[in-house]
Amino acid sequence: MHESRGRVHQINVSAGGVPKYPVAAALVGPLGLEGDTHHDTKSHGGPDRAVCLCPLELIERLRDEGHPAFPGSMGENLTLEGLEWSQVVPGARLSVGEDVLIEVTSYTTPCYKIAGSFADGRFVRVSQNLYPGESRVYARVLRGGLIRTGDPVRLVLSVAPEPTSS
């Protein structure tokens, strides 16, 4: 396995809901990014869903398919680029910038609130069950700190991907 390295393309926060808007830098703590909150705390947020990640490459594929998705439109906190996304699976750990260490906890369940990112409103386009490898993921914060747009991201612990169910 080659080492998967990438960078933070965009950091996104909001006072609740989508889209999330870009910021140049953010402090990351046990419950996520400073300045980012959720209207629905039952479905979003908390220690195991502190940070939502999405690859820029997925957003670009969606745009190529005619969807109006853009960084932050699907509620992700970090839009990352250059990582081998097939290795960003539950249990994988990523270092972000100089200080932050996160661990992927789960694939996200797409929500109707991101339907505006899709030309046909079919937000299930980013469902891991229906489109393996085309999902956002949630992560817990193992070590917090400051992150900035452009910071390096490195996969520091890789795990075998879970088999997909059909």
Task: Say if 124 falls within a structural domain.
Answer: yes
Task: Say if 88 falls within a structural domain.
Answer: yes
For 89-141, the pLDDT digits (tens) are: 999 999 999 999 999 999 999 999 999 999 999 999 999 999 999 999 999 99
8 A C-beta contact, residue 16 and residue 37: yes
Residues 51-69 have a mean pLDDT of 98
8 A C-beta contact, residue 114 and residue 125: no
Task: Say if 162 falls within a structural domain.
Answer: no
Residues found in the chain: 166
8 A C-beta contact, residue 50 and residue 31: yes
Task: Say if 164 falls within a structural domain.
Answer: no
Task: Say if 64 falls within a structural domain.
Answer: yes
Domain that holds residue 23: 5-157
Query: 31: pLDDT confidence band, cut at 50, 70 and 90?
Result: very high
Looking at the structure of the chain, the number of domains it has is 1
Task: Say if 67 falls within a structural domain.
Answer: yes
User: Do you find a cis peptide bond into 19, omega within 30 degrees of 0?
Assistant: yes
What three-state secondary structure class fits 48? Answer: helix
**What's the order of all strands across the beta sheet hosting 32-33?**
32-33, 25-29, 145-148
Residue 150 pLDDT exceeds 50: yes
Task: Say if 163 falls within a structural domain.
Answer: no
Residues 76-87 have a mean pLDDT of 97
* CATH number of 64's domain: 2.40.33.20
Task: Say if 106 falls within a structural domain.
Answer: yes
Residues 6+ apart with CB under 8 A from 149: 8, 9, 10, 11, 22, 24, 25
pLDDT of the residue at 16: 87
Q: Is the pTM of this model over 0.85?
A: yes
Residues 130-155 have a mean pLDDT of 97
